[in-house]
Chains A and B, each alone.
Chain A
């Protein structure tokens, strides 16, 4: 059944390995969340723009990626990514073998998935800004970049924090799927440890607790941020 002695730190147990794996999960989640928000800013911009073509492309992207299982997107990028990059490199005249490392592939894959959700959150947040604010900014003579930095971004961020908190939870849980790329995060470490020790239950329960710990505390952090962002706001 559950073997506590297998979880000690040091050579006898898997405690330190699981600590590293947890840190790797956090690192991948943070990086892909960041990449996701970065993509989402442009995707939301495209979605809101009056240019039919760019809004069509953005809609296509969010619809397709959200309609396909996450595992399939990860497989596609993991197995198809290197081939695609090599084809692009060939077009530029480089004929060598390129292998992307597991971390990059994982961050890109989860980032692309996470971005679709962030796009919707940012789009909704932008639409909740009073249009009069932007008109007022134009009236006082701010330039487009200034309007974006000083008027739009702070308010979008404030409206988007609860939604981004949800996206973060989904992203964190999606990182369990990248164990198929061989990156040693919690899930991969669980498989390795249970194969060695022949005790899957112990390590799977540990993994469940680690994820529960991560989601709970990051949820608390987002609640705090949300409260903080609402200071003086009706």
Chain B
């Protein structure tokens, strides 16, 4: 009977009710990540290639893009896309408005732009760490340009930067909370709404914090799995 009482009192506690309510907004946060992270990954690879290419114009353009995005806070970027672009009449009348009037798509665009800047710098380090001998031996085996990238450079580079890129992924999970400031109701937005309703800030934000911790825990496990999978030569042989 004693345990039953504890369980019922827990189920009626504010933090548990909040937890359930914020949990139902988990898919909004996940949706932001599931769209922006894969696009960000591929664009980062492309941008990193452009950054190390011999074309000075391309390389300088990407370098200045990275410089600007890494030098400004994400909040400014989100606001610029949501409030800034929305205030321009020409954009309001163009086809872009279909996406830019939704806070969700503004969040996705801002997060993608942000992660590409950090990600391409990370991948550039990885690509430049591929030793010349590997590329030369790839060439001497008769790989074309695409084959060389796909079979030699990218596998080595991505393996090299997996821990660093993992950090970037965790930063992105945390960055989704900023999209709540553009009225998009993901976990932080819901927590803020609950706080306004119940006047119990600690319960609301701790419940949201637990969920973010859980999400980041999953992300860390995912990165660990990838690291293990793509570094078979570092595993103990048995």
The answer to whether A76 and B201 touch across the interface, beta carbons within 8 angstroms, is yes
Q: Which residues of B contact A180 (CB under 8 A)?
A: 181
Q: Which residues of B contact A67 (CB under 8 A)?
A: 170, 174, 212-213, 216-217
The answer to whether A75 and B205 touch across the interface, beta carbons within 8 angstroms, is yes
Which of A71, A80, A211 is the one whose CB lies under 8 Å from B72? A211
Given contacts A68-B213, A211-B73, A212-B71, contact A200 B177 (CB under 8 A): no
The answer to whether B83 and A200 touch across the interface, beta carbons within 8 angstroms, is yes
Majority SS at the chain B contact face? helix
The answer to whether A76 and B206 touch across the interface, beta carbons within 8 angstroms, is yes
Q: Which residues of A contact B177 (CB under 8 A)?
A: 69-72
**A1 part of interface (Cβ distance < 8 Å):** yes
Given contacts A69-B174, A173-B73, A200-B79, contact A75 B192 (CB under 8 A): yes
CB distance from A59 to the nearest CB of B (A): 14
**A55 part of interface (Cβ distance < 8 Å):** no
Determine, out of B53-61, B84-92, B129-137, the stretch whose residues face the partner at the interface: B84-92
CA distance A208 to B74 in the complex (A): 10
The answer to whether B201 and A80 touch across the interface, beta carbons within 8 angstroms, is yes
Q: Which residues of B contact A23 (CB under 8 A)?
A: none
Which of A72, A83, A198, A212 is the one whose CB lies under 8 Å from B188? A72
Query: Considering residues A68, A176, A187, A211, which has the most beta carbons from chain B within 10 angstroms of its beta carbon?
Result: A68
Q: Which residues of A contact B175 (CB under 8 A)?
A: 69
CA distance A181 to B76 in the complex (A): 17
The answer to whether B83 and A68 touch across the interface, beta carbons within 8 angstroms, is no
- 9 A/B residue pairs, CB under 8 Å, sorted by A: A68-B209, A69-B176, A69-B178, A72-B191, A76-B202, A201-B80, A201-B83, A201-B84, A215-B70
Which of A80, A84, A177, A207 is the one whose CB lies under 8 Å from B205? A80
The answer to whether A72 and B80 touch across the interface, beta carbons within 8 angstroms, is no
CB distance from B37 to the nearest CB of A (A): 16
CA distance A139 to B33 in the complex (A): 55
CA distance A134 to B237 in the complex (A): 39
The answer to whether A207 and B76 touch across the interface, beta carbons within 8 angstroms, is yes
Residue of A with least CB distance to B176: A69
Given contacts A79-B205, A80-B202, contact A69 B75 (CB under 8 A): no
**B195 part of interface (Cβ distance < 8 Å):** yes
Residue of A with least CB distance to B91: A201
Given contacts A201-B84, A208-B76, contact A64 B205 (CB under 8 A): no
The answer to whether B83 and A176 touch across the interface, beta carbons within 8 angstroms, is no
Q: Which residues of A contact B216 (CB under 8 A)?
A: 67
Which of A70, A83, A207 is the one whose CB lies under 8 Å from B202? A83
Query: Considering residues A67, A180, A200, which has the most beta carbons from chain B within 10 angstroms of its beta carbon?
Result: A67
Q: Which residues of B contact A201 (CB under 8 A)?
A: 80, 83-85, 87-88
Which of A75, A173, A190 is the one whose CB lies under 8 Å from B201? A75
The answer to whether B174 and A208 touch across the interface, beta carbons within 8 angstroms, is no
Residues of chain A in range 134-171 having any CB-CB distance to chain B below 8 Å: none
As a 0/1 sequence over residues 164 to 188 of chain B, the CB contacts with chain A under 8 angstroms (1 = contact) are 0000001001111110110000001
Q: Which residues of A contact B209 (CB under 8 A)?
A: 64, 68, 72, 76
CB distance from B107 to the nearest CB of A (A): 13
**B98 part of interface (Cβ distance < 8 Å):** no
**A199 part of interface (Cβ distance < 8 Å):** yes
Q: Which residues of B contact A75 (CB under 8 A)?
A: 188, 191-192, 195, 201, 205
**B68 part of interface (Cβ distance < 8 Å):** yes
Q: Which residues of B contact A208 (CB under 8 A)?
A: 68, 72, 76-77, 80
**A223 part of interface (Cβ distance < 8 Å):** no
Which of B84, B174, B176, B195 is the one whose CB lies under 8 Å from A68? B174
**A192 part of interface (Cβ distance < 8 Å):** no
CA distance A174 to B86 in the complex (A): 25
**A54 part of interface (Cβ distance < 8 Å):** no
**B208 part of interface (Cβ distance < 8 Å):** yes
The answer to whether B76 and A176 touch across the interface, beta carbons within 8 angstroms, is yes
Residue of A with least CB distance to B209: A68
Q: Which residues of B contact A211 (CB under 8 A)?
A: 71-73, 76
